[in-house]
Structure formats: C-alpha cells, structure tokens
Amino acid sequence: MVKYTSLKRKEETFGWKLISPTLILIGFLILYPVLYNIYLSFFKVSLNFGEKNTFVGIQNYLNVLSDLSFWKSFGTTVAFTLITVMGSILLGLGVALLMNKKFPGRSIVRGLLLFPYVTPLIAIVFSWKYVFLPIDGPLVQFLSIFGFNSGTDMINDPNNAFIVVSIFNIWRNFPFVYLMILSRLQSISDDYYEAAELDGASSWQKFLNITLPELYFVIGSIALLRGIWNFYKFDEVYLMSKFANTLPIYIYEKAFSGLPQQGVAASIATILFVVMFSLIGFYVKKVLKW
C-alpha cells in the first residue's frame, strides 16, 4: 500500500513535470497579459522607456464609450461576425452534403476544396485584390459581360470594403466548416435513412428529420468557434482592406499608428473581451445546453 501511494506520487510529479513548460509559457504569455491588459486600461500608457504610466481611472472607458466611431465599428464587427459565420456554415453544409456523395473525381475536388483554407494568407490576399481591381480587374470585366458595370472600387471604399472582406472570409473558412460537418455526416448510420425510405420519406424530409438533428451539435460548436475567431479576426480583414473598420482594426490603429493611445486600446480590448465572454456564456447555455 505504501509502495503504491509512493508510486502514484511519483507518477503525479512526473505528470506535472511534463506539463510545466506548457503551463509556464501559457501563463506568462497569455494569462498574465490578459490581466495586464485590464490593468493598462486604467492608465494613460507612456511610450517612452522608463517613463511612468499615469493613472486615469475609468477615463479611457468613458472616452471610448462616448466615441461614435467606436460604436460604428462595434456594429460592423457584429455584422461581420454574423454574416461570415452564417455564410460559412451554410456553404460548408451544402458542400459537405455534395461531397458525401460518391462521384468520379471526388478526391481531386476534395483536395481543391482545401486550397482556400491552407494557402498562406498573404499569398491569396494579392490575387483577391487583383480580381477586384476597379478598372481592369477580371471580375469587373467578367461582370460587364452581363451588363453590370459599376466600376466602383470594392476594396478601398469604406462602404463596400465590408462586403468584400466578408465574402473573402467565407471563401477562406468554409473548408474548415465543411471538413467538420463531413466527418460527422459520415458517421450517421445508414439504417436511419433506410428506415425512413421504407416509410416513404422524401429526400428533403430525410434531411430535415435525420441529417439536421444529427448535425445540431457539430454545427453549434462550429458556430461558436467561428464566432469567436471572426469576432477577433485581424489579419484577414486588415490585409484585405484597412477600410473595413472592424474593432480589431480599430484597436490596432489606436495602439500602433499615429499617436498611439495604448491605454485606450487596452480598454477597447477589455470591452471586447467582456462582451465576448458574456455572449459565449449565453450561447453555451442556451444553444449547446451544456
């Protein structure tokens, strides 16, 4: 018995040893910065080395919350998240249903479908910009065949940039959704469908009454993950168009360009974080029913 417990203790310390590098790194570079961010949000942060930060209380928050441009980009971020999450899930679901059928050349198509997701962002951004060029761009030329001749700059116009960035995000991320849904689809037993066929169910009824309920949780979880990621999405938006004005870009510009106001940026990040946390809590309870 004594030997057993000492063995167990040995295992336990060994386990802790194995995990400790991870814990130290994550603690120091993720958890601590999150707390430090909250701390910074109450200060006017100095950028000169050795100069102290000045405590300003909730002034940063008051400034942000009374700033109209903050609310505007907040709205943009929410819209961007909703559109891209719904768009990528609808497209991903459709594609997964298509790819669940056997057809000649399926493996090639499947390989191609991963392209948008695995291609380095910086490589693909330029070809999107080229495709959307306002005067000579292939898309504009193509659309003009059908009589659409807008000639507007879709990317560098704050009114449209949002649309292009949303389409781009859906294009880039639907393969992830499709992969997750497909792997769940393939694990649904054929028996259900055979039974339903015997009862004379149409394809649509089968989809509605068997497939969708089986996919409920996987879709719910994907929506959560994609929601979190797209709410924070910086690089895909910023590199496509600086004019899309979502909150992460707003934070970045406040913190690192012009006259940096890092305290203000920290308070925006904190607000973003609190909103995110409460939305996730609500979602996990109501939608995923955990």
- Return the residues of window 83-102 that contact other proteins according to CB under 8 A: 95, 98, 101
The answer for residues whose C-beta is within 8 angstroms of residue 136's C-beta and 6 or more apart is none
Q: How far apart are CA 94 and CA 103, in angstroms?
A: 16
Evaluated on CA atoms 145, 146, 150, 153, the torsion sign reads: negative
Instruction: Kindly determine how many residues on this chain lie close enough to bind other proteins according to the rule CB under 8 A.
Output: 79
Binding residue (CB under 8 A) for other proteins from 59, 78, 100, 116: 116
CB of 235 to other proteins, least distance (A): 4
The one among 71, 126, 216, 217 contacting other proteins by CB under 8 A:
126
- Site for other proteins contains 197 (CB under 8 A): no
- Minimum separation from the CB atom of position 8 to other proteins (A): 8
C-alpha–C-alpha distance, residues 290 and 276, integer Å: 18
- Minimum gap (Å) between residue 263 Cβ and other proteins: 9
CA-wise closest residue to 212 among 191, 194, 192, 239: 192
Q: What are phi and psi of 146, to 5 degrees?
A: -90, 10
In whole angstroms, the minimum distance from the beta carbon of 211 to other proteins comes to: 17
DSSP-derived letter for residue 243 is G
Residues in region 247-276 near other proteins by CB under 8 A: 247-248, 251-252, 255-256, 262, 265-266, 269, 272-273, 276
Query: For residues 146-185, which are near other proteins according to CB under 8 A?
Result: 171, 176, 179-180, 183
Beta strands in the chain (DSSP E): 43-44, 54-55
Lookup result for tokens 């030329």: 141
120 is an interface residue for other proteins by CB under 8 A: yes
